[in-house]
Amino acid sequence: MEKSKLFTEYKIGPLTLRNRTIRSAAFESMCPGNKPSKALYDYHVSVAHGGVGMTTVAYAAVTKSGLSFDRQLWMRPEIVPGLKELTDAVHREGAAASVQLGHCGNMSHKKICGETPVGACTGFNLYSPTFVRGLRKDELPVLAKAYGNAVRLAREAGFDAVEIHAGHGYLISQFLSPYTNHRKDEYGGLLENRMRFMDEVMDEVMKAAGSDMAVLVKMNMRDGFKGGMDIDESLEVAQRLKDNGAHALVLSGGFVSKAPMYVMRGDMPIKTLTHYMDCWWLKYGVRLFGRLMIPTVPFKEAYFLDDAMLFRDKIKDIPLVYVGGLVSREKIDEVLNKGFDFVQMGRALLNEPGFVNRMKMEECARCNCGHSNYCIGRMYTVDMACHQHLDEELPPCLKKEIEKLENK
């Protein structure tokens, strides 16, 4: 039996983590007013106390136009003191702190981001739903610089690392994917052109990160549907990100506006999702057509591993971070022994913030997440919370849905 690497130190660029675990940038929805809250502080400190190597604050928009939700972080100077309190507390627990930076592109509404949502191309996004304005060429360098400015704010706030979101159908991904990028200028067409905006962002990010901040990039291995990015092109993207200076790659997949459950796997709990919605027409629309709009993609443990192995074989001399469906010490050890340098977990650490410490004590440790995806159905409107740890009593219809999904 191979010796476990799980509790050994390892480096991401200039940063050394105490073990190989990272809390993934699963959206918390804990930032009313687009600023950090006590709930966000308490959750990340609990994960750090629970033994994780690094915890990642999720999905901070680099500009107001990049906001998807009204409970999402927006990087600006006035929130730095609140974030510094969080990072100081995480450091006191012995963990590192990272923040994910991105721009949602077409996945927004005017009432959230303050303008008609923007994207790689003009069109209509059925999943928001909203009209979308294609970005002008002269706007792209300004947006790229916004990523660099967000990195500088992250350093000021005490973060050890940033994770640039280049996957899941958000703005950088919208430029990379042939599904969303139909531009006729030098930012569209061949992959070399579709990578141009990503290159410009990474240039600004690496300059801002300097020599003392780690830079991870979350990217898609596949978009998850016909007509999207697939393995061959994604391998080229991974190599380009390495050439751009990224210190580690987080290997994911899926497209929130086309294949959301390819990202998370399992069923979307439609009753839960609509129960918390406050828009009446969207609530009834999703009740009627949700199963068609959000098709199920079956869950299995380590569901991205086969694709990730193709990247491990081809992409050398850069740490690779595996994410997707890790809920047991046994499978985590298997992934690390296959050559991945770190693992990210989301739902496992929502279900049990102290799971990493328990794995240190129990070689057969397995978290108690039942994969009903209640946390996902809830997070879009309220916050990301596990149904096993709620203070409030759930209505019978939601209890029944959870039981049905967890016993499939």
The catalytic site residues sit at 170
The residue type at 366? R
Torsions phi, psi for 67 (to 5 deg): -80, 135
**Residue 280, exposed/middle/buried by CB under 10 A (0-12, 13-18, 19+)?**
exposed
Give the C-alpha separation, 123 to 130, whole Å.
Answer: 9
Q: In Å, how far are 92, 146, 168, 357 from 75, measured between CA atoms?
A: 23, 10, 20, 31
Q: Which amino acid is at 224?
A: G
DSSP H or E stretch at residue 215:
strand 214-220
Euclidean distance between CA atoms 316 and 242, whole angstroms: 9
Other beta carbons within 10 Å of 231:
14
Contact present, 321 and 341 (Cβ < 8 Å): yes
Instruction: Of 213, 385, 242, 210, give the one whose Cα is nearest residue 311.
Output: 242
Give, in order, the Cα–Cα distances in Å from 393 to each of 32, 78, 273, 341, 388: 23, 36, 17, 41, 11
Helix (H, G, I), strand (E, B) or coil at 154: helix
Could you give the residue ranges of the DSSP H alpha helices within 36-181? 38-49, 80-92, 110-113, 140-156, 171-176
* Helix 196-209 with 231-243: angle, nearest 10 deg: 30
Q: What is the DSSP-derived secondary structure letter of residue 106?
A: T
Q: Which of 402, 73, 168 is nearest to 267 (CA)?
A: 402
Alpha-carbon torsion, ordered 242, 44, 26, 55, to 10 deg = 20
Buried b (16+ CB within 10 A) or exposed e, 24-35: bbbbbbbbeebe
Mutual orientation of helices 305-314 and 231-243 as an angle, nearest 10°? Answer: 50
